[in-house]
Structure 1
Amino acid sequence: MSKRLFSLLVFFVLLRLPGLHAQLLPPNQPEQDACNALVLCGNTFTSPYGYQGIGLVSDLPNTPCFGGEGNVMWLRLKINTAGSIVFVISPTTVTDDYDFAIVDMTNHDCSDLSTAPVIRCNFNNNTVPGSNVNGQIGLNSTSTIPFTTSGATGGSYLQQINANAGDVYLIMINNFGTGFSGPVSGFTIDFTGSTATFNQPPPPAFQEILPYCDLSHEVTLKLSDNVYCNSIAADASDFYLTPSGTIQSVSGINCSSPSGYTNKIKITFNGILPNGDYTLHARTGTDGNTLLGLCNSPLALPDSLNFHVGIDPIVMASVDSPACQVLSVNLNTPAACNSIAANGSDFTITGPSAVYVASATGQGCVPGGFTQKVKITLSAPIAVDGLYKIISAIGTDGNSLIDSCGRILLPGSYIDFKVNSFNGLLKALPDTTICTQGGAVNLYGINNAPPPAGGFSYQWTGSGVQNPGNLNTQANMPAAINYYVLATVDANGCYIRDSATIKVVPFHGGLQPLQGETCLHDPLQLTASAGSTYNWYDNPSLTGVPATLSCHTCPNPQALPPLGTTTYYVVVTNSDGCKDTLQTDITVNPLPVIEAFPADTTVRYGDQAYLSATGGTAYSWSPSGTLNDAFSVHPVATPKNHTAYVVTGANSYGCLATDTAWVHVDFRNPILVPNAFSPNGDGLNDIFRIEHLKFEKLLAFQVFDRWGKLVFETSDPARGWDGTVSGKPANADVYYYFIHLGYPDNYEQTIKGDLTLIR
């Protein structure tokens, strides 16, 4: 079944004919006022009731059909999806006369109805037999008329409504019996054929236990919405009590018909409950359901209400916020309006500042009425924050507050409330940090509080404020920490305040070095610090960007200035926008002109080379392993290989330059081999050996006779052939030698020749 939500204003009177069992309700039922209209859902709704009068409020005295409310009840719908609205109102007794009107409430309030938003009304008479077939009236898709005026016959159906999503309608239904007299028997309204749908209203819920002096035997439960009478379990199983007590019976108010509905249920206990605190709970009854709303939506579980049995004093339960000049005190039970002293003498206020009560009144009080909220008006707004007490007293009327059961608000009882003007509605700005003591800051505020009738009046307090009464003003900062408070009074008579704290923190950036020296072509690292941004310049006017820095907006550029002195300027800015300008002077010294001698020379392997340098005041040679003194101006080199000796010379500024002396090594040495020897023991030429070996390595030394026989062999350069073979003197003859030598540069040499042995 689709659900429709309409806002309809319905006039109808339920009259009860003899022999039928409709119930004529007492006047002033809630649904007889437009703002308490029953919310419909589903395609049909049936009421078994007849209504009397127009309710507590005269909602719609006139319509375009020349009539207003009479024996009225109201229905309400809110459109969920767009479409057409048609319906038929069918009286239970076909001779009953029903009228209706429909009000478009989409842009209107239920408490302020007028003729203008009435878009349909049908005050057709059903007194002539057959004027309304079966007594039915309504809307259909074929009619083209929007109104049927009072006294007319025929015209039972009006033009359908084409509704948009979000539209709200009220249907006013007036009920009259046959011939405008006698009770009616109820009606059914059927929306079959409508294409618009309307929403499901929220499910019913426990709302309150109606006040009564003695709740020990029974209570009356008020619900948030009507429920079907037939959804109330007859055995009272829809409810239970804690911590003790049982329920004997329940009955819905006005529930004489099973198809009826009610929002009040009387619950009778099985015996008298002792004094104490109790909780009434909802549950699923033996009928298989909880209480069901008019759209069959079940009361959601768990649900409960607390109530108290016993004659206890009235208690101040809470104080509404804000509590500034008018204090709204909520009582735990309604008190008699005439027990409240108009001059407020039933109450005194204590706290951090003197507070005086000017008057007191009960909210919604009428003569002989009761109220659960007392408004205490003070002579002036509470200006000082802190914890205050409202203390009850015997007023000048001779009593404190009294309820309908004779209970009183005990003199001397109290409730605390807190006044906090720094509640966030007013913002004082800025909370900031500046760099210069005595500097000016623009103070301003943002106010989200409700304005009083005459507008806001502001007041700044603090040192150096130029126009304290202006919301936006300026102040000079005289101290390291400056505290300002902005205050005003809002529509509730409440002081609202906020503070702004402005700190003066002189800013000093960092720069290293502030003075520096370097050598030509040597980059120098500059380091600025303590900021969030950095900007470098080459002049005190801060207009030129230095070309000799590696970057212009970083904290640590490298400088490569020319000869002489160059000044760099940096503006250091921190996260608060504070700036500091620093400078550094960089002196660039010349490089020495270093020369190494000899520039290029050659020595035999193992021999020495004598080096020297000019142009500096101190020197360092490398590689140093083959030098006798690496820091001498005249070192002696003994290279093992070709070597480039690099000398680094420093001048008086400590600047360095280099030059190179190349020393080449000659690894070749003339080898002298004799061509004859005479091993006769005279001490002259007795041994055939290789003379004058220095750095050469003898790899092989062999002697052969003329027939190729090996007669001598060695690799020891100290040995030679003594002219013997196997210990016997060799014959005088010509012999042949083979010599194999190795050099330090891995070169190998072979020497061959003949040798004459002389005897």
Structure 2
Amino acid sequence: MKYVLLPLLMLFVTAPLCAQITCTTKGQNPETAFPVCGTEKFTQSSVPICGGKDIPGLNCLNQHTDKNPFWYKFTCFRTGTLGFIITPHDLGEDYDWQLFDVTNYPINQVYTNKQLFVAANWSGEYGLTGASFQGQAHEVCDGFGQPLFSSMPTIQQGHNYLLLISHFSDSQSGYDLEFKGGTASITDPLVPAIQQVIYDCAAPALRVKLNKRVQCNSLAANGSDFTLTGGGAAGITGATGINCNSGFDMDSIVLTLSAPLPAGSYSLALKAGTDGNSLLDACETAGGGSGVPPTPFTVAQQFPSLPDHILPVGCQPDQVQLVLSQPVRCSSIAANGSDFTISGSTPVTVQNAAGGSCAGGLTDTITLRLSGVINTAGAYQVALRTGSDGNTLLSECWQPTPAGASLPFTTSDTVNADFSYTLTLDCTYDTVTLTHNGNNGVNSWQWSSDGAPFSTEQNPVKVYTVFGLHTIKLVVSNGVCSDSADTSIELINELDAAFSASADILCPTDVVSFANESTGYHITGYVWNFGNGIITSTPAPMPQSYPQLKEERDYTVSLIVQNDMNCFDTATRVIKVVPSCYIDVPTAFSPNGDGVNDYLYPLNGYKAVDLRFSVYNRLGQLVFETNDWQRKWDGTVGGRPQGVGTYVWMLTYTHRETGQHVFKKGVATLVR
């Protein structure tokens, strides 16, 4: 960026042009720099307005920018000083420049890396500028009064350089660039020649590598800059420079051919094309000539793609997948499947054919859709023939697969998992004998019962100890086809004796009723034994009473059930008969461990529910409380014995049978 005093109007007009504008013209970026040499004068007739990227100097205080730039690239072939002159077409305009050594550096570092600096001149004066013996310093900073010429820098053999020419004036008037006055050489003495030729059978084309970079515009698009010897019927029909869309020079070219080249030896030579010249380097040196021998190359024998194998064929196939020894062109596969025939155990035809992914127009797998599904085992053969498109399969190098090439494949029968069984019932366990016929080559059996696997045999036996409904499932396979079947089996000999009682504890004069709750199939007999001397065989017995005794007694009640298979099952229940159900609290107790009246608790609380028993000392402090009438107070609090004397108790409960709410209160004496 230049810092100069300009009239206010000029500042207003040019300020928008100082903003960064992306350069799109070839040559206005380092990546698309013009190739130059020391023997030519280079003329740029106009300069598109763009740029504005910062350019790092070496010692200048102000930051410079690549305003309206053009870039040039060259290589030093002899170490020495570099001299050049930039002549504006309008000598009243300001041009600036900076030279970079980009050897072994990414070229975009010219915007950031000071180490690439070689020389520069950013003078604010108008007219000719450059590097010459008149210059006093390698770096001239911006501003009026600064010299227009810098001293000639020394450049090194084998190094690569970029020269930036920046047009500070906001016009599109051009300039001339000429290298002279220095001792270095930037002219490559090497004559353009062919370095290597590689045959690309897929295109078909020749990929040519040159010994140096040449101008893109020196290449004749019809390929007439080249002579192919030994090509026979094949000829060069076109030429394309690699990367010429984004640059001015290239060192690789693709020559398209009119036909594939047979295996053999060939040569390629440079000559003047129909554009009036051969390939030209940056110094207009022409390639080829009588002193440059043709470059030989060899085309190896190309082989067709052959059928290699068929992917495993599944059950009831409606397609076959053919794998080839090498990729073929998808465009050579007739979509109607006419490239293939299938013969074998049953009549089947190919309905259509398609390549796999066809990435890049090539595939090594072809799917053949069949006219129908093959349901039975058989042997078949896929054979190739010339399709309706006029060819068999064509390899990447255009080699046709021989008609008649074939591959075999086999299919398997479908299978049926239906099975039969026989059932043997018993009182404690049932046996199911299962049978499968194993037809159509079945060699795998997977049996499960109620979702749990239990056998891999063909004809297993399953034993059940739990009766009722069960589901048996079978999955069969012959290695290709599979099938499944299931059936439900009801084991009807389940027998379970059970009954309930209206009460488990009987007070004097109470009676108890028993309800039969037995389950099972075809129950034929019942035997009740109530433990009170009464035995009956009725399913629904009468209520029972028990003798009134002076002490508690347990009676065992049993029910035996029998079914029509002569199986039996027994259920039992204990009935407790108590001498009294009158709930009361003793008036005294002596917790001395003699086994007599050692505790204070509600007596005979058999029919009490929602019970609460509380004991208080003389100070009204709660010393014991429980909701369980059989939990007894032992005369201690926290493990410490309480003193003798009178204690107040309170008792509340609900009578289980009558629903009556009862509240009692009294005193009891603790005696030691």
Same fold (TM over 0.5): no
Larger-gyration structure (1/2)? 1
- Normalising by the residue count of structure 1, what TM-score does the alignment of the two structures yield? 0.29
TM-score (norm 2): 0.32
